[in-house]
Amino acid sequence: MAPTADVPSAEMSNLSVNPTAPKGTAKRDALRANEIEIQALWEQERVFEADAADDGKEKFIVTFPFPYSNGHLHIGHAFSLTKSVFRAQFERHMGKNVLFPFAFHCTGMPIQAAANKLKGEIEAYGVPPKFPEEDPQVRAKMEAELAEAAAAKAAKQTGDLKAKGGKTKLVSKTGTGIVRQWNILAKMVPEEEIPRFVDALYWLNYFPPIGVEHMKHFGAGVDWRRSFITTFVNPYYDAFIRWQFNVLREKGKILFGKRNNVYSIVDGQVCADHDRSEGEGVGPQEYVLIKLKVLQPDHGQARHKKMEALLERFGDKGIYLVPATLRPETMYGQTNCFVLPEGEYGAYYIDATDEVFIMSERSARGLSCQVHSDDKYFTKDFGKIECLEKFTGNELLGLPLKAPNATYEKVYTLPLLTIKMDKGTGVVTSVPSDAPDDYMALKTLQDKPDFAAKYDITPDMVDNYKVVPIIEVEGYGDASAVFMCEKLNIKSANDRVKLAQAKDETYLKGFTSGIMKVGPYAGQKVSDAKPKIKESMIAAGQAHLYFEPESRVVSRTNDECVVAATDQWYLAYGEESWTQAVKNHILDEEKFNSYDPIAQAKYEYTVGWLKEWACTRQFGLGTYLPWDNQWVIESLSDSTIYMAYYTIAHILQGENNLNGESSKSPDKIDPADLTDDVFNYIFRNAPMPANTNIDPVVLDKCKKEFRYWYPMDLRVSAKDLIPNHLTMALYNHAAIWDDEPELWPKGYYTNGHVLVDAEKMSKSKGNFLMMDETIQNFSADATRFACADAGDSIEDANFSRETADTAIVSLVNEDEWITETYLMEGMRSGEDSLNFMDRVLMNETNRAITETAKCFSAMQFREGLQKGWYEMLLARNEYRSFCHDSGIPMHRSAVTKWCEAIIVMICPICPHWSEKVWKEIGKAGHAIKAPWPVAEQEDKLLSRQAKFLRDNLKNLRQQVGKGPKGSNSASLLVTDSYPEWKVNVLLMMQEKYDNGFPTDFMQQLKAWCSNSSDKKLMKNMMQFASFTKKEVEEVGPIAMETTLPFDQKAIMEDCIAYFKSQLNLENIDVVKLDDSTVAVPDRVRENVVPGKSYLWFH
């Protein structure tokens, strides 16, 4: 999401720039040189390593989903990552023992699929490959074919022969749509090394170590001793996952059987979220296929010749058009059936029923993978279906049909131009009483004979078919679709917006409030009757269940997926007691913090729908299922409790041992000795295992680490993991530690995706930024700064390269100013010499310390940056200007407090900069270990006085511009007295205030002000009260006092030299009207009110 205001840029532009600072890229280079030096120091002194301790310190563990190791990290990773990095560093300043571990995910299909693709390219085109598109003419032809294929696909799905080929996702990313695995790797690895990537395991050795280096360049603050990769390649992690699955099976959470899952026919296995290039988070959608029997054509139309021939051959078996519906209870109201005139359909033989179904090729492909009944598939060969004949939609128009449950004995096939062939079967049954689209489409054919005639639809096919009332809905009648179309004044089937609104309302009201009027379940609520009608139609052979993905899903092998019923090991997430335990946890604010109400709603929704999940497949990298090694555990299922493995990884594997080589294990632990009994002792309070080869002292150390660090305090992720990984992690924690709910995750924070310069990242736009490349271009601290400024909500954020550039300048300049000023001689000192502006700066610093801490603890880093950096700089600039213009030195106490505070407050975001400046001002130890600055309670009165000074100076500058030219003298007029009407407003507000105003305060105020007959005065009273209310919210009830709680004249006189300089006037005196004998004209007096002075030239 783009920033809502340009505050940072505007404020940065006001900061002074040191003319002697480095030019060009020198400032960036200076930051990078410091970062390299600081990172080496951190590594040498192991500052981010954390162990279980008995020192009474509070612990804090934050984790981040391990990235997939098939390439380099990009700025999207970096943005999400900063949320955990910033919070971890903030908690270090708060005195906690902080652990931030990190690992790399290698499980799943993507790496294997990429390796296979590279192998095919090398076999076809050599090393280095000579791709045909290197010839410009060939490339132009290939790109034209790709564009033509995209247009044809769009036309096929919409039936629009004039459809234009838009850019596919692939084309928009690459600019051509011609993607070669070799070329992808060539951007990341030396060309001579690319052939080695045909081995999937080579990816696991190559990319994770690079990921470690890039993270170190970013200053991520990770305890790298605990890092690892997944899959069987790492025998320690492999043993951990086998233990986890054995426990889940032992608890009855893993079952076996045929289940419907999103499936790739090309890959021959379930396609889980991480195996998809499109459609993450999409699951199966259940439909009901309604069997409309094709009758003998009765209008002698030539277009029915193929159907007549098919009926002659297979009519005794039964030929059916099979629309897919979500509303089987409405079939009593069928008046016709719709097809897309330009759509492509087939007649497919169904072995299970010995019938013929007419449907789209896409849906027939899916049906061939699904079970009809008793584990028997619709077709004799899984994934294959026999096509007996092909039809265009036009060849199906005008066919007479027998519709089950319909009032009419015979209905006809009619045209509908809005059917999408990529959804359902391409056939739509029509119930105009309860479906607004159906009603308008039928009405159009009835009202426009010429339109019907265009498709050879005769009047008897449409005119005799009236709306059949089937469901009564209170307030909508017994034909809710007709009611809604009339209510919204829908005149055409092309009014898509209003029709969508009508559909949503009609369907919702029909299901929740509707009462059946017809059929054996008349009088029952629709919500109760629907499943009964569905089951009775299936039992009668009038319908079948059919499934397809909720929306398009494409595997990483570029296969459009279907829903298939396959033998599967699956996690029974829908089990009632398991679901309830998770639900209870996330609904308890004392136990779980989601940081955002939108995110909270998404967790609750996901827990409501997440059901059986296929947790294995037969292709790809991973851990083999311990009791059935023909299956590999899929990538979402082996990554749900690995946060617990972080607590012991350094003891088992040791550092610099991502792959888990047993020779590097600190205590020489053999992975074969990591039995279930060993893990049960460490993680589940089971007895010490007998006959183990592992030293009990080591096992006790592991157990202590786990018990110390768990539960996980915070997990940070992008929002797209809520429907899968994050919720599944809750389920798995609740299963493994069902008797210890205190070990379940305490908090999840999720952010939106990140745009770059307000646009979605794209290579063709030149804004696809890799993390390490961005670090080299802007420095780690400036990159982190821009990430903090990008935004914090669950909506998309915006990484601005301009902000990163500006941050470079600001960081270098502030470094110079702080180090020079902190050690400067000649500053004032001592409590007695503190003047008004000294105290204001210290008060502003106190406020910033408190507010920044609140922001950081709430994961609001953009707001924290505003408070802890931008507002701190503005306060300093104001103070510096005051001292300069007043001709007095700055005060050491004020400067010291400000400098030390800002160094630590910005440290979570820019730690390398903080380390450098911390050392330059002579502070001991590391800045990252420094305690959060101590803040005295903000003096609200002083804050109000400072605001008074600030606001008045702004107003006085405007007055000077309007004053008489050449004048160099003026009086500053102030008063403590409000006019009577303002006093009355303030008294009324005091009466209504009780630790806050009532929610209807403004309505009460309006009623109170209406007693005045003077409309202008009433308006002024409302404006004054509204302004005062905001001030009360900022500084408290003192803002409602009928006299100002401070001496305006004294403040003005304290700062008179500052005013003279700022207003460019030689002589200024301050006059308090309340006790002055100066004769001030009434027209001038009217401009002076408490808190707002006036400049009088005389």
Which of 216, 230, 223, 222 lies closest to 70, judged by CA? 230
The contacts of residue 493 (CB under 8 Å, 6+ apart) are 418, 437, 440, 441, 444, 499
DSSP string, 788-802: HHH--SSS-EEE-HH
Phi then psi dihedrals of residue 325, to 5 deg: -130, 155
Alpha helix positions (H), 861-979: 861-865, 871-886, 892-905, 911-920, 940-962
- With a pLDDT cut of 90, the percent of the chain lying above it is 74
**pLDDT tens for each residue of 452-474:** 999 999 999 999 999 999 999 99
Question: Rounded mean pLDDT of 718-726?
Answer: 93
Tens of pLDDT, residue by residue over 884-915, are 999 999 999 999 999 999 999 999 999 999 99
Express each pLDDT in 1006-1032 by its tens digit: 888 888 778 888 888 888 899 889 888
Measure the CA–CA gap between 724 and 729, rounded to whole angstroms: 8
pLDDT of residue 156: 52
Q: Which residue has the tokens 């924290």?
A: 864
**Cβ partners under 8 Å of residue 480, min gap 6:** 433, 434, 471, 473, 506, 509, 510, 514
User: pLDDT tens digit string along 971-996?
Assistant: 999 988 888 888 899 999 999 999 89
Query: What average pLDDT does the structure give for the chain?
Result: 91
Q: Which of the four pLDDT bands, split at 50, 70 and 90, describes residue 1?
A: very low
Query: Between residues 109 and 592, which one has the greater pLDDT?
Result: 592
Q: What is the pLDDT of residues 293-317, one digit of tens each?
A: 999 999 999 999 999 999 999 999 9
Collapsing DSSP to helix, strand or coil, 724 comes out as helix
pLDDT at 14 over 60: no
Q: What is the pLDDT of residue 380?
A: 95
Structure-model confidence comparison of residues 968 and 740, the more confident one? 740
d(CA 239, CA 376): 37
pLDDT reading at 74 higher than 50: yes
Handedness of CA 686, 689, 694, 697 (dihedral sign): positive
**pLDDT at res. 155:** 57
- Look at residue 796 and tell me whether its pLDDT is greater than 70: yes
Query: Which is nearest to 906 in space by CA: 978, 815, 794, 790?
Result: 815
Q: Is-contact 1 798, C-beta < 8 A?
A: yes
- pLDDT confidence of residue 1037: 86
pLDDT tens profile 507-518: 888 888 899 999
Q: Tokens 């033998």: give the residue.
A: 567
Least confident of 532-546, 736-750, 936-950: 936-950
pLDDT band at 578 (very low <50, low <70, confident <90, very high): very high
Banded model confidence at residue 529, pLDDT cuts 50, 70, 90: very high
**Cα(595)–Cα(590) distance, rounded to whole angstroms?**
12
Least confident of 323-332, 500-509, 519-528: 500-509
Cis status of the peptide bond prior to 128, with omega within 30 of 0: yes
pLDDT score for 2: 35
What are the respective helix, strand and coil percentages of the chain, to the nearest 5?
50, 15, 35
Q: For residues 364 and 192, what is the distance between their CA atoms, to the nearest angstrom?
A: 46
- What is the identity of the amino acid at 235? P
Beta-ladder partners of 969? 1067
- pLDDT for 748 beyond 90: yes
**Tokens linked to 134:** 């290197």
Alpha-carbon distances, residue 1055 vs 73, 138, 459, 882, 971 (angstroms): 53, 77, 92, 8, 14
Please, which residues bridge with residue 346 across strands? Answer: 359, 390
Say whether pLDDT at 221 is over 90. Answer: yes
Question: What is the per-residue pLDDT for 558?
Answer: 85
- Is residue 22 pLDDT above 50, yes or no? no
Q: Which of 290-304, 687-701, 771-785, 942-956 has the lowest mean pLDDT?
A: 942-956
Q: What is the pLDDT of residues 829-857, one digit of tens each?
A: 999 899 999 999 999 999 999 999 999 99
% of residues, the chain, pLDDT over 70: 95
Asked if residue 527 has pLDDT above 80, the reply is yes
Q: Which of 838, 1090, 1097 is nearest to 952 (CA)?
A: 1090
User: Which residues on neighbouring strands pair with residue 359, listed in sequence order?
Assistant: 346
d(CA 958, CA 1062): 12
| CA 135 to each of CA 62, 122, 139, 140, 1044: distance values in angstroms, whole numbers, following the listed order | 52, 18, 6, 9, 81
